[in-house]
Amino acid sequence: MKAAGNIGQRFVDRCVGPEGCLGFVYYELPLNGEWSDLTANFRIERKGKDRYLVLEEIHVM
């Protein structure tokens, strides 16, 4: 494992789902100062003129 000093990898997917969903962001997270398989999943939503980043889950890939 590499030491967690920089920003982890991020992945973005387009949404194929409910209206208002724009996409998803998958963001790697460090544990105890080391990069791990822990990932936070967010959904990007549109409500009117506003955009929201909604945490869906945090899990080990």
SS3 string, the chain, reads CCECCCCCCEEEEECCCCCCEEEEEEEEEEECCEEEEEEEEEEEEEECCEEEEEEEEEEEC
Whether 52 is in a domain gets the answer: yes
For residue 1, the model assigns a pLDDT of 44
Residue 4 has pLDDT above 70, yes or no: no
Range of the domain at 30: 10-60
Q: Is residue 5 part of a domain?
A: no
User: 22-60 pLDDT, tens per residue?
Assistant: 888 888 888 888 888 888 999 889 888 999 999 999 988
Residue 3 forms part of a structural domain: no
37 lies in some domain: yes
Is there a domain that residue 27 lies in?
A: yes
Q: What is the pLDDT of residue 27?
A: 86
The structural domain count of the chain equals 1
pTM, whole model, 2 decimals?
0.68
